[in-house]
Amino acid sequence: MAGCSNCSTGTDNVGGCQNNGTCGTSDCNKMNSFDWLSHMGLPEMDKFDIVEIKFKGGRKDYFRNVDYLPLTTGDPVVVDVPNGHHIGYVSLQGELVRLQMQKRKIKDDDNILRIYRIANQKDLDKWQDAKNRELPTLYRGKQIIDEISLKMKLSDVEFQADGSKATFYYSAEDRVDFRELIKFLASEFKIRIEMRQISLRQEAGRLGGIGVCGRELCCSTWIHDFKSVTTSAARYQNLSLNPSKLSGQCGRLKCCLNYELDSYMSALKDIPNVEKPLLTEAGTAKLQKTDIFRKLMWFSYNDDNNWHAVDCIRVTEIMEMNERGETPSSLKQDKEIDSEEVYSNSNRDLELLDKKFSQTKKKKKRKPKNKQGANGEETVPASVQKQPNGGTPSGNPNRNRKPSQGRSQNRPKPFPSEQPQANTKPVGEVSGGNTETPKKKRRSNNRRRGNSGPPKTNGSNE
């Protein structure tokens, strides 16, 4: 028996996963139903005695547990079938089986067959030998169908566990007379032959696969009754009628097109049916697109490329006006706006623009220049006056000053308080006993700025 890697069941064990809800062996997660009532402690006497059994390809059937065998989800059991016995896996039991039978409209009567026993190793070995014959039989059956030129597609073969019967699953567009085919198959394989026609959707469900949504196919996981899907479902949802996008792996329209159809149908009740273009003074407006859930409709004037979004309520009003013989000014307005009002509004905007650009930017305030006093001396602003510690309030006095023309940029500017006064004498003349030259002043400025190193001397003691 094939085991599941996620549970303790292996090839040497017969018991199931013992997980009471999800199958861990043979076709894991295919057409399964989670038993959400398994831990509710229902009375054993009232337990429903019919068990759901799963077979190859996700096919399920219901059998009665007359002997009250202790079954667990995933156990292989031998069941009674017409003209023999077969082996399947327990997929569901308890009260949920009663709900599933009601859903599938299966009556609880004497037509439900019984479960014989839990399959032992001998039964499983014999069933495995029968399953090994399925693939060669499928290939040979396709060759025979091609030889007799029947218009049918053979998709799968299922052997009964006792090896006495084989079921051939096929699909065809029209009715097929396969009486001659049964004779060839019976003489070829020496077994009883049963032909069962299935639809293309059922064929895709038996094969399985991954859909464009990235999940397993719905037909192979949970759908057991297939409803017809028409192209009108795609039209109501404003989908592109592209067969490659609307078709599933079965070649038919996707079953998921019916999932949201009811929501679209209820939303379409509030959207008007525009059968002809709307008449406006701006031109004839034709419907280009409809947003169903936002309730917006896009129109274009005279086949123009510019689309205008209009609310559904407004569209209904315009249709009623056209029926009365009235024509609105445009899709958004019923009457033309007064030209004087438009002119005043436009002038108001121009006036605002004029005020905006007429405002000049405020110029930055410049620092006041040194002014000469009454006695001819220059006055120093209070912001740059010399501090007791030899510095200035603003730090470096030369900051934010541009070098004057005719003076080297590398040469430092004298401090304002040390600038030559108006009554100073030329260099070399004695005034008040001080004979300091401009070069010595420059060195003293360097010393005040914190330059490292002793000042250079000309050989005289200062």
Q: Which of 68, 88, 69 is nearest to 78 (CA)?
A: 88
Return the pLDDT at 342: 45
Task: Give dist(CA 55, CA 22) in Å, integer.
Answer: 16
- CB atoms inside a 10 Å sphere around CB 135: 10
Return the pLDDT at 174: 86
Indicate the SS3 state at residue 434: strand
Judge contact between 60 and 31, C-beta under 8 A. Answer: yes
Long-range contacts of 438-447 (CB under 8 A, 24+ apart): 441/414, 442/411, 442/412, 442/414, 445/412, 445/414, 445/415, 445/418, 446/412
Whether the model pTM is above 0.75: no
Q: How far is CA 74 from the centre of its chain?
A: 36
Q: Which of 195, 200, 199 is nearest to 178 (CA)?
A: 195
Judge contact between 136 and 180, C-beta under 8 A. Answer: no
190 sits in the region (left: phi over 0; alpha: psi -120 to 50; else beta) called left
C-alpha distances in angstroms, 408 versus 374, 404, 449? 32, 8, 19
Return the pLDDT at 315: 92
Q: How far is CA 455 from the centre of its chain?
A: 78
Judge contact between 73 and 21, C-beta under 8 A. Answer: yes
Q: Sheet of 50-54: strands edge to edge?
A: 60-64, 50-54, 84-93, 76-81, 115-118
- Kindly state the DSSP code that residue 115 receives in the 8-state scheme: E
Return the pLDDT at 30: 61
Task: Give dist(CA 248, CA 228) in Å, integer.
Answer: 14
Task: Give dist(CA 104, CA 411) in Å, integer.
Answer: 105
Residue 279 structure tokens? 């008449």
Q: How far is CA 416 from the centre of its chain?
A: 73
Return the pLDDT at 208: 84
Return the pLDDT at 359: 63
Residue 216 structure tokens? 């397993």
pLDDT in tens, 332-357: 887 765 545 544 555 666 677 777 77
Spans in the chain with pLDDT lower than 50: 1-3, 5-16, 18, 20-27, 339, 342-343, 383-384, 386, 390-395, 397, 403-409, 417-419, 422-441, 444, 446, 450-452, 457, 459-462
The residue with tokens 């996707």 is 254
Return the pLDDT at 432: 44
